[in-house]
């Protein structure tokens, strides 16, 4: 479903650039998830022809798809560099789910650089990640920068989102802003929907079923060696929290109950990610991040978090979707810390990538280049 002209006008004039914005015109370089890998980012910018100050001799500009932070060795340096580029109008940056976690003050494994060292722990290997912490005097500026990030960017020939391009989710944020005078801040929009879902869970009685399931299975859910049965209440609960909050949809995608529980990210899961692009039929291409993809099966085996491979049958430089016009630019540089823990070094299996537009060229941080197909 395409956005109507009226809806696109609302994006600009009613919501403003905080939630949905206009993408730079002209030649751009769209950078996938960086995850604190400052040296990979510097190398990629050199490969793309940018100076150390972020300027390009041909006037090209950068657009980041979100997830600047977490897991890698220097998230503060990545955030500082991108923030400076945005302030100088040399770059734009979308909000990813990792920025949203920091805004929500939610501590996750890998974001201890912002909160505390306990959340820089790699539980699977019993080691702490070597990640530079943010200084006390820069945390507020980091959160303010994250709060300014839009959820989508678009122009006539291209759409950008961190996880899922959903006209329904975009329309929901616009409608709430218009009808209820909700502040344009992403975090306010997030909590508005979160409270509504909490009330729905309470009123429906689902909360009691979920609490009963968790009392019985919560500890077992963390044991990879002992599969647990499908828990329908938990699946319904997880899918509802994900799919009925448009901020979640745009930053971390859609989910659906699974036929068989699977183990990923430290627990048995009842829902799986939906490859939404398989049903995307609009003519305008979409670039996204978020969904770890790999250059080959061996790298996936080494670095995967246990989730399903959503890009089976696609070459690394191949568009997906029925119109072959959706491309994921996230080549799992967020897993490079695992390679370091395993004693790895360059050439890396986990890559940082960018797509040059309108040239439709894929560029990796260590110099490989491919035409998109």
Q: Quick one: what percent of the chain has pLDDT higher than 70? A: 90
With beta carbons less than 8 A apart as the criterion, state whether 77 and 37 touch.
Answer: no
5-371 CATH pick, 3.60.21.10, 3.40.190.10, 3.50.30.40, 3.40.50.300: 3.60.21.10
Arithmetic mean of pLDDT, 229-234: 95
Contact between 50 and 88 under an 8 Å Cβ cutoff? The reply is: no
Angle between helices 38-47 and 75-87 (to 10 degrees): 40
How far is Cα 174 from Cα 170, in angstroms, rounded to an integer? 6
pLDDT over 90 for what percent of the chain?
Answer: 77
Residue 332 and residue 299 in contact, taking contact as beta carbons nearer than 8 Å: yes
Residue 125: what pLDDT? 54
DSSP notation for 210-241 = HHHHHHHHTTGGG-TTS-----HHHHHHHHHH
Q: Are 350 and 331 in contact (CB under 8 A)?
A: yes
Rg of the chain on CA atoms, in Å: 20
Who wins on pLDDT, 123 or 3?
123
- pTM score: 0.92
pLDDT 10s digits, 135-153: 999 999 999 999 999 999 9
The domain ranges of the chain are 5-371
Please state whether beta strands 61-64 and 91-93 pair in parallel, antiparallel, or not at all (unpaired): parallel
Measured on CA atoms in the order 316, 319, 321, 322, is the torsion positive or negative? negative
Show the CA angle centred on residue 67, arms to residues 194 and 139, nearest 5°. Answer: 80
pLDDT tens digit sequence for 256-277: 999 999 998 788 999 999 999 9
Please say if the pLDDT value at position 164 is more than 50.
yes
Distance, in Å, from the CA atom of 315 to the CA atom of 320, rounded to the nearest integer, reads 10
């Amino acid at each position: 479903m395409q956005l109507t002209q009226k809806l696109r006008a609302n994006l600009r004039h009613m919501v403003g650039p905080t939630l949905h914005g206009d993408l730079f015109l002209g030649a751009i370089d769209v950078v996938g998830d960086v995850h604190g890998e400052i040296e990979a980012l510097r190398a990629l910018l050199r490969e793309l022809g940018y100076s150390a100050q972020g300027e390009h001799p041909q006037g090209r500009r950068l657009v980041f798809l979100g997830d600047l932070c977490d897991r890698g060795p220097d998230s503060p340096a990545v955030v500082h560099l991108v923030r400076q580029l945005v302030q100088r109008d040399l770059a734009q940056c979308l909000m990813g789910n990792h920025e949203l976690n920091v805004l929500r003050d939610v501590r996750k494994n890998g974001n201890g650089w912002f909160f505390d060292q306990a959340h820089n722990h790699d539980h699977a290997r019993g080691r702490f990640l070597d990640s530079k912490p943010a200084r006390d005097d820069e945390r507020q500026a980091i959160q303010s920068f994250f709060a300014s990030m839009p959820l989508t960017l678009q122009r006539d020939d291209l759409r950008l989102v961190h996880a899922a391009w959903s006209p329904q989710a975009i329309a929901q944020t616009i409608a709430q802003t218009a009808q209820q005078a909700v502040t344009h801040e992403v975090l306010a929009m997030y909590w508005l929907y979160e409270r509504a879902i909490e009330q729905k869970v309470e009123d429906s009685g689902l909360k009691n079923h979920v609490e009963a399931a968790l009392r019985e299975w919560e500890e077992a859910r963390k044991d990879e060696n002992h599969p647990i049965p499908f828990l329908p209440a938990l699946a319904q609960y997880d899918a509802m929290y994900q799919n009925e909050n448009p901020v979640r949809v745009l930053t971390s995608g859609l989910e659906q109950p699974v036929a068989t529980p699977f183990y990923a990210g430290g627990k048995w899961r009842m829902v799986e990610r939906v490859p939404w692009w398989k049903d995307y039929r609009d003519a305008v291409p979409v670039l996204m991040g978020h969904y770890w993809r790999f250059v080959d099966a061996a790298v996936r085996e080494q670095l995967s978090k246990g989730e399903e491979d959503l890009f089976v049958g696609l070459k690394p430089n191949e568009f997906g979707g029925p119109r072959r016009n959706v491309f994921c630019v996230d080549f799992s540089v967020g897993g490079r810390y695992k390679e370091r823990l395993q004693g790895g070094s360059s050439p890396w299996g986990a890559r940082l990538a960018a797509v040059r537009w309108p040239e439709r060229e894929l560029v990796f941080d260590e110099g490989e280049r491919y035409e998109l197909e």
